[in-house]
């Protein structure tokens, strides 16, 4: 084992030990709120993503239900993670409010005009704390990726070319080093399969020059402000993706915002340049699947209760660190 591998293993061990005691105090779904792998609302279903179920409400509203599904290595695992949906949904709501003076968003507060009291009461167990009532918008078909640290596919790109998605960088950068300025590295938004990295010229070709400039500038501004806030709470946001839509001719922020699923969250107190970083959220599950040497092909292994509980504790810890309050479930 190399020195770098030993250091990473020690860092992961420290992070795992953080949750060794915490996971024992997590109230599991059977004791509090049912973990939801798939919602079943009596509304027209538009689709199910890896995590979110999307329902139509009237002609111009949507109900987004964030389930407790968890995917790793592009596969949805059999076990839902209790409270994960609540965490992702409420972190996004936190950031929508945090950024409200910078960009409008798709949240709608007129659900009473669309859902009767009987309907909201019937759906309460599936909606409370994990749902958003939003305006239907025209999505901009570009994933707005912002990178603040050189890691993941960006690091591999840099080693081969000295650049990240066409952005030429200084020589001698180390893995996971903070970049001098955040990079906007967009990707095509595909309806199936993996998104594909595109350059800014291709972004202009897809959405027009004015919109391309707007989403680039907004993405970097939002990332920078969110990164600085999160760092003050002990979390480094290495990279993230934003999604935007158009409503009445204006660009607005949609989908999820700076969550552990759409971003890389690293613990600041054990950050160390020169190797991969342990992270919050799915890292506990990824490490387990790597440890058991799963070949990333069906059948998908069922996670042990201990791994499920530790992962649930990690998500909840991120929420409390960011917002300063306990999760409402």
Parse the chain into domains and list their residue ranges. Answer: 3-136+282-323, 139-270
At residue 182, the 3 state secondary structure works out as strand
Q: What is the pLDDT of residue 286?
A: 86
Q: How do the residues of the chain divide into helix, strand and coil, expressed in percent and rounded to 5?
A: 40, 20, 40
Q: What is the pLDDT of residue 280?
A: 83
CB 245 within 8 A of CB 106: yes
Which contiguous run of DSSP H or E holds residue 289?
Answer: helix 283-291
Residue spans of the chain under pLDDT 70: 1-33, 191-194
Q: Give the whole-number percent of the chain exceeding pLDDT 70.
A: 89
Alpha-carbon Rg for the chain in angstroms: 20
Token pair 């600085």 in the structure block, residue: 228
- Spell out the residues 6+ positions from residue 314 whose beta carbon is closer than 8 angstroms to its own: 19, 280, 281, 283, 284
**Token pair of 234 as six digits:** 């002990």
- Strand intervals (E) in 140-276: 142-149, 163-164, 167-168, 178-184, 187-188, 235-247, 250-254, 263-267
CB 138 within 8 A of CB 254: no
Same fold, 3-136+282-323 and 139-270: no
Count of positions (residues) in the chain = 329
Q: What is the pLDDT of residue 73?
A: 85
- What Cα–Cα distance (Å) separates residue 203 from each residue in 1, 141, 215, 262? 43, 9, 10, 20
Which contiguous run of DSSP H or E holds residue 247?
Answer: strand 235-247
CB 57 within 8 A of CB 134: no
Region label for 164, one of left (φ > 0), alpha (ψ between -120 and 50) or beta (otherwise): beta
pTM given for the model? 0.88
Classify domain 139-270 by CATH number: 3.30.470.20
CB 238 within 8 A of CB 263: yes
- The distance from CA 266 to its chain's CA centroid, rounded to whole angstroms, is 13
- Return the CATH fold of 3-136+282-323: Phosphorylase Kinase; domain 1 (3.30.200)
**Token pair of 100 as six digits:** 């409200």
């Amino acid at each position: 084992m190399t020195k770098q591998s030993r250091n990473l293993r020690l860092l992961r061990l420290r992070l795992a030990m953080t949750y060794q005691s915490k996971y024992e105090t997590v109230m599991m779904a059977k004791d509090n709120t049912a973990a939801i792998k798939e919602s079943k609302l009596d509304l027209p279903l538009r689709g199910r993503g890896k995590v979110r179920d999307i329902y139509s409400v009237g002609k111009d509203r949507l109900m987004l239900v964030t389930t407790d599904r968890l995917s790793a290595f592009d596969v949805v695992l059999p076990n839902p993670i209790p409270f994960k949906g609540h965490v992702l949904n409420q972190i996004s709501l936190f950031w929508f409010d945090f950024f409200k003076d910078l960009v409008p968003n798709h949240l709608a507060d007129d659900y009473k005009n669309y859902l009767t009291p009987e309907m909201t009461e019937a759906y309460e167990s599936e909606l409370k704390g994990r749902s958003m009532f939003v305006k239907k918008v025209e999505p901009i078909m570009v994933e707005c990726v912002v990178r603040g640290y050189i890691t993941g596919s960006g690091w591999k790109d840099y080693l081969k070319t000295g650049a990240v998605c066409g952005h030429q960088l200084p020589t001698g950068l180390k893995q996971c080093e903070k970049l001098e300025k955040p990079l906007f590295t967009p990707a095509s938004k595909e309806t199936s399969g993996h998104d594909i990295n595109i350059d800014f010229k291709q972004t202009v070709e897809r959405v027009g020059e004015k919109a391309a400039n707007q989403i680039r500038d907004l993405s970097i501004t939002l990332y920078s402000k969110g990164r600085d806030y999160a760092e003050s709470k002990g979390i480094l946001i290495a990279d993230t993706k934003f999604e935007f839509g158009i409503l009445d001719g204006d660009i607005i922020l949609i989908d999820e915002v700076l969550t552990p699923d759409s971003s890389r969250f690293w613990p600041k107190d054990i950050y160390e340049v020169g190797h991969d970083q342990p992270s919050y959220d799915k890292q506990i599950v990824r490490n387990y699947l790597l440890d058991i040497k799963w070949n990333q092909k069906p059948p998908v292994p069922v996670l042990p209760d201990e791994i499920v509980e530790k992962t649930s504790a990690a998500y909840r810890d991120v929420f409390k660190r960011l917002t300063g309050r306990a999760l409402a479930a």
